[in-house]
Structure 1
């Protein structure tokens, strides 16, 4: 029985045809990870849209929520965890603050800005987290528990090799 083909199989074949001198085998993994990321992002965006959220909004709200009470972090800690620029996080905080989901709080060190989840922000993230995890479960449904464990191990090893470490 022939295995089912995906878009990356076709891309790999094209490269093998036009540039047989180039080892395009990394594409089998990197191309799939890249395509998977885009497809997952699209699926999650559809889910978040039901709550009038964008993925980045959920990321900030969930980061604050999962840290536990008092549901706050410095802007710098959010930058480190979100892997975005200071300007990007400032823009995100502004937009979430306008919606009443976070608030800025003065820190003892006036050079720092503390971002705190508001009660409305906590309520929203608590409402979204269950359906969000259900969508992630649907995405992973084709994999057995053993396959998931192996995928986690392989992805963790790759991330660590690229220097990805917990922030803070």
Structure 2
């Protein structure tokens, strides 16, 4: 396999044969896979509906939220792993597009709740099956067992990083 990670590892093997290269190579592949999935597979799908990845993520987070009243912007940015400033800008764009509604929080005058509008709900209902189809297509080169192993290994890696 001659992907960028293997080419970089081969070059480092010559320049610094003393280095333990497999960890760098694995992380390089993980990073490249993430970029390729986001740029080549997901971005075109979301763009067809006038969205960016982060906006899709907000709509999907609101759709799966347990409360029909919505989520606070803080809960949204924590669930989507983005900054509060980035979340505010996304919410502004989504509200302008008519995909979300902001309402006052019933018990905290300083806070608000964000929920899907009817238009936002309709859009995420269309997009989720397409998003899942894209995920299946991305992982199609792996067998079901390999996908389960990859999922388990990534969960262990993330768990180890969060300890």
Check whether TM > 0.5.
yes
> CA-to-partner distance for each residue in 1:109-132, whole Å, 9 max, x for gaps?
012221111010000010111111
Cα distance in structure 2, aligned partners of 1:141 and 1:121:
30
Alignment TM-score, normalising by the size of structure 1: 0.91
Q: For residue 25 of structure 1, report the CA deviation from its aligned partner.
A: 2.0
Cα distance in structure 2, aligned partners of 1:68 and 1:82:
15
Partner of 2:84: 86
Partner of 1:118: 117
Alignment pair present for 1:149 and 2:141: no
Q: Work out the number of aligned pairs and report it.
A: 161
Which of residues 15, 20, 26 in structure 2 aligns to 1:18? Answer: 15
Alignment pair present for 1:6 and 2:3: yes
> CA-to-partner distance for each residue in 1:82-133, whole Å, 9 max, x for gaps?
1111111111111100011111110120122211110100000101111111
Q: Runs of 4+ in structure 1 displaced over 4 angstroms?
A: none
Given the superposition, is the C-alpha separation of residues 135 and 36 from structure 1 closer, same or farther in structure 2, using an over 3 Å criterion?
A: same
- Mapping 1:46-61, distance limit 5 Å: 46-61=44-59
- Cα RMSD of the aligned pairs, angstroms, is 1.4
Structure 2 residue runs of 5 or longer lacking an equivalent are none
Alignment pair present for 1:40 and 2:37: yes
Q: For residue 22 of structure 1, report the CA deviation from its aligned partner.
A: 2.2
Cα distance in structure 2, aligned partners of 1:127 and 1:69:
21
Cα distance in structure 2, aligned partners of 1:104 and 1:51:
22
Cα distance in structure 2, aligned partners of 1:95 and 1:63:
16
Structure 1 residue runs of 5 or longer lacking an equivalent are none
Cα distance in structure 2, aligned partners of 1:103 and 1:157:
37
Alignment TM-score, normalising by the size of structure 2: 0.93
